Amino acid sequence: MPTLANKVAIVTGASTGIGYAAAKLFAREGAAVVVAARRQKELDDLVDLINTEGGKALALVGDVGEEAFAKALVDKAVSHFGALDIAFNNAAILGAMGPVPEMSLTDWNQVIANNLTSAFLGAKYQLPAMAARKGGSLIFTSTFVGYTAGMPGMPGMAAYAASKAGLIGLTQVLASEHGPQNIRVNALLPGGTDTPAGREFASTPEAVAFVHNLHALKRMATPDEIAQSALYLASDASSFTTGSAMLVDGGVSINRV
């Protein structure tokens, strides 16, 4: 029996990178998936791929920072696939990087809205749908940046780090408040991952070497490796795991170079 048989999942940030890999994996493991991002063609291609492989998927294009879109995603999962069991709230941007004294309030607010307020909006509509199902798994993609490392050598990530650390606080409170409803809430903290965002961050050979060297494993993750950890948190394999900030970071957090 596939790990996610008879489950219904939302995956945001599914047009590329970690979300794309996770949506494919969840579908291969039996889940019906509603995939979300702002780019239509990438999502349509993903849905075609999943359907060709015999899976079930549909795409919804929109901005996770908008409340109407957060609601529409849940409505779509319930009306089309009958329920919601899993929400992988993964969409995010790095935003304009730069030292805080030079950062505009507009740039700060854009990152917080895109990465943190979107998580609140997602949870707001996902939790009641999961409660109706008598349980579920909610996952936020956070990061080690701002949690175990301040990223010396690559400064300028204050807004990104604050948005992602905020997700860990949100995770803990939601896990505590919704545990009695059998809803598990966890944050997944990847290390450097070879995605478009990862390549934007490490955009020169020197930066790539620097990022690889931060990790005990001396490389970045593949999106598929992080997707496997999302699958663990989504599935009953992690049935006693809630409120965690789960590091899947290739040893960045324990490595001292």
Ligand X SMILES: NC(=O)c1ccc[n+]([C@@H]2O[C@H](COP(=O)([O-])OP(=O)(O)OC[C@H]3O[C@@H](n4cnc5c(N)ncnc54)[C@H](OP(=O)(O)O)[C@@H]3O)[C@@H](O)[C@H]2O)c1
> Which residues contact ligand X (rule: CB under 6 A)?
12-19, 37-39, 42, 63-65, 90-93, 114, 141, 143, 190, 192-193, 195-198
Three-state DSSP at 17 gives helix
- Nearest-approach distance from CB 229 to ligand X, in angstroms: 11
Catalytic-labelled residue, pool 20, 125, 160, 232: 160
Chain centre to alpha carbon of residue 84: 17
Chain centre to alpha carbon of residue 149: 19
Contacts of 203 (CB under 8 A, 6+ apart): none
- Nearest-approach distance from CB 185 to ligand X, in angstroms: 16
Token pair for 13: 């940030």
Nearer to ligand X, 70 or 183 (CB): 70
- Nearest-approach distance from CB 207 to ligand X, in angstroms: 12
Nearer to ligand X, 55 or 192 (CB): 192
- Nearest-approach distance from CB 160 to ligand X, in angstroms: 7
Tally Cβ neighbours within 10 Å of residue 239.
11
Nearer to ligand X, 58 or 197 (CB): 197
- Nearest-approach distance from CB 143 to ligand X, in angstroms: 4
Query: Helices marked H in the chain — which ranges?
Result: 17-28, 40-52, 67-81, 105-112, 118-132, 158-178, 196-201, 205-214, 223-234
Q: How far are the Cα atoms of 34, 63, 75, 97, 222 from residue 68, in angstroms, in the given order?
A: 16, 9, 10, 29, 33
Nearer to ligand X, 133 or 226 (CB): 226
Token pair for 166: 């905020």
Diameter of the chain measured on Cα atoms: 54
| Phi and psi, residue 220, nearest 5° | -90, 165
- The residue number with the shortest CB distance to ligand X is 17
Residue 147 bears catalytic tag: no
Tally Cβ neighbours within 10 Å of residue 52.
8
Nearer to ligand X, 114 or 242 (CB): 114
Report the catalytic residues. 160
